[in-house]
Structure 1
Amino acid sequence: MKAIILKELKLIRKDKRSFLFLLLMPVLFIVMFGSVFGGTGDSGGITLRVVDQDGTEASRSFLERAGQIIDVKAADASELDEQIGKIGQGQFSALLVIPSGFEAAMKQGVPADVKLYRDPAAAASLAPIEAILNGISNGYREQKLAGALASMGQSQAEAERTLASPIRIENVSTASDRFNYVDQVVPGMTVMFVFFIMITMSRRFFEEKKTGLLSRIRSTSIKPLHYLIGMWIPFALTVVAQCAVLFAFGHLVYDLNLGDLSALALIVAALSVAGTGLGLGLSFVMPGEGAAMVVTQLISMGGAMLGGLWVPSYMLPQFVQTIGHFTPQYWAQHSLVNVIAHNAHIADVAGGVVVLLTFGLAGLALAFFRLPGFLRTAAS
């Protein structure tokens, strides 16, 4: 069995196609997705483009208030038509215009109008901007009412009590699924490409079948179980090495927080068992190498879509989320993200680890029962 393990490790090391699928491709995907999404995925920032036609102290004060809450990008007054045209082209969704006479209207005590040019097709993204502008407007109103109450003889404390809302909202911090996009893409691409090990595994078994090596092994005293374990261990170690390299890449290049390393290592070990166990079972069930390739890609890509490897699972339709719970990719990704983004520990991910081991052991059991038949076909 030791000789089989050493043989397979040498063959895997020399296999350039395995290097392409298991290391180079996931690194390229991580870089691509990380670059597209800026490496942060911070969706909490809101940008509002503004044209200030008034250019007075009052208009600047208004924009300073807005700038404390959202990212304000000012454009020159001469660019108004161009900016409105960009909304029609879908380049952005809203433009705030402070017209001339804004400060004069405020001094006269009449409503000072501002104009919000908006794309009606982007109602969801505009809602936060409208809420922020309404909040600023209410602030000015409260300031005006406080002045009126003061002129009526109320002290500042009395005016504040009069204007105080009868309802108080208390903010309570709790865990959130909002996290750096790298926390999603690094484990997602790692899990997706782990299952490409099944291509390498099926190709190796069918090559040994074609070359007659399996026939010679069957005629020796090597027990089928020893052969199975000897072939499986090198691939399991390869997956562990693959995960270690990809997570190290994410940590060094994108400053990925790895969380509890012991929990992360446990998930990687269980993921290795799941991916290679299913690969072993698949290799002995498929009628040929071509069929094995097709099924492997279906499992890898289909599981990536259903298991929430490309986007967080909660963003998928409910029926897709339900189906995803039956894939090993979901449990691997869910457990990894919990460790990386939510500081989970071993006890928190034990359920996901058990599910991954169940998938892997089911594949290994299938391979064990199918191995004698596979060896007989190799001998014929």
Structure 2
Amino acid sequence: MNAIIKLELKKNIQDRGMIFWTLVLPILFTVLFISVFTSGLNEAESQPVILSIVPGYTVMFVFFIMITMTESMIKDQNNGLVARIASTPLSSYLYLLGKWVPYMYIVFIQIVILLLFGKVVYNVPIEQLFYIIVLAFILTFMVTGLGLALAILVKTTNMGIALTQVLALGGALIGGLWMPLEMMPELLQTISRFTPQYWGHQGFREAMTGTLAMGDFFKISSVLLGFGILGFILALIGYPNFLKRTTG
């Protein structure tokens, strides 16, 4: 398993496209949309907008790691690596962990850098630091768990890209990452609570302002952990069919 983790990390560190998707593009979008939505507003009016956009775009862009995870799994499948590993004593459980853990490192670093960018450039508050760090870990677990399930269940990279866009952009829209929930119809406000983006966004916003109660923290954490665990279970269930599709 450790060899798989090291190999996966090495490949992604050398991939310049990874830096663009995980850091450069989110920062560009954050700067652009803050400029647009705060144009003509004074500092007091701009702060709530900035406080929504910084964690909102952080949560939205972590979902795009699913594309890289899908590409990696499909590549291993097509080049026969999965078949060779299946013939060794390494269990499917450990193989999936080996493919999962490197992306946890990547996503957690991504979250930390994007939130630090918001703090340094826009002076967003970081009141409940402990809650923010724990939520960053849990968000990392959740999104990479769902990414692992997607990588196992889809049959092609293009299908993975399409579904990632639906999950990332559709969830961001419904979850209130693009506009305040109060401006959305009541039906969509209700539906938003079924998206992980909603819970991640709410948790970060309230922790940043110091208003996240302990009960709400545990509720948000439980929901996000539930999504991540569901993703890993789906990956385990789908692995036999994934193995059947493997070349070699």
Distance 2:41 2:48 in 1: 5
* Maintained 8 Å contact 1:309/1:333: yes
User: Which of 95, 119, 140 is 1:251 aligned to?
Assistant: 119
SS of structure 2 residue aligned to 1:221? coil
Work out whether 1:282 is the aligned partner of 2:150: yes
Deviations 1:303-362 (A, max 9, x none): 000000011212211111111111000010011111113432544321111101101100
Question: Does 1 or 2 have the higher relative contact order (CA < 8 Å, sep 6+)?
Answer: 2
Q: CA deviation at 1:21?
A: 1.4
Work out whether 1:307 is the aligned partner of 2:175: yes
- Give the residue type in structure 2 aligned to 1:330: Y
- Give the residue type in structure 2 aligned to 1:337: R
Work out whether 1:360 is the aligned partner of 2:228: yes
Distance 1:183 1:6 in 2: 36
User: Which of 188, 195, 212 is 2:80 aligned to?
Assistant: 212
Q: CA deviation at 1:290?
A: 1.0
Work out whether 1:267 is the aligned partner of 2:135: yes
Deviations 1:119-168 (A, max 9, x none): xxxxxxxxxxxxxxxxxxxxxxxxxxxxxxxxxxxxxxxxxxxxxxxxxx
Distance 2:133 2:246 in 1: 37
Distance 1:248 1:345 in 2: 23
Distance 2:99 2:218 in 1: 28
The farther-off stretch of 266-275 and 244-253 is: 266-275
Distance 1:41 1:239 in 2: 33
- Bigger strand fraction: 1
The aligned residue for residue 297 of structure 1 is 165
Work out whether 1:182 is the aligned partner of 2:50: yes
Distance 1:378 1:333 in 2: 38
Q: CA deviation at 1:37?
A: 3.1
Q: CA deviation at 1:203?
A: 0.7
Normalised TM-score (structure 1): 0.62
Normalised TM-score (structure 2): 0.94
SS of structure 1 residue aligned to 2:48? coil
SS of structure 2 residue aligned to 1:378? coil
| Structure 2 unpaired stretches of 5+ | none
* Maintained 8 Å contact 2:78/2:247: no
Sort the Cα spacing of 1:40 and 1:371 in 2 relative to 1 into closer, same or farther, 3 A: farther
Q: Which has the larger radius of gyration?
A: 1
Sort the Cα spacing of 1:213 and 1:330 in 2 relative to 1 into closer, same or farther, 3 A: same
Sort the Cα spacing of 1:234 and 1:249 in 2 relative to 1 into closer, same or farther, 3 A: same
Alignment identity in percent? 37
SS of structure 2 residue aligned to 1:208? helix
- Give the residue type in structure 2 aligned to 1:300: A
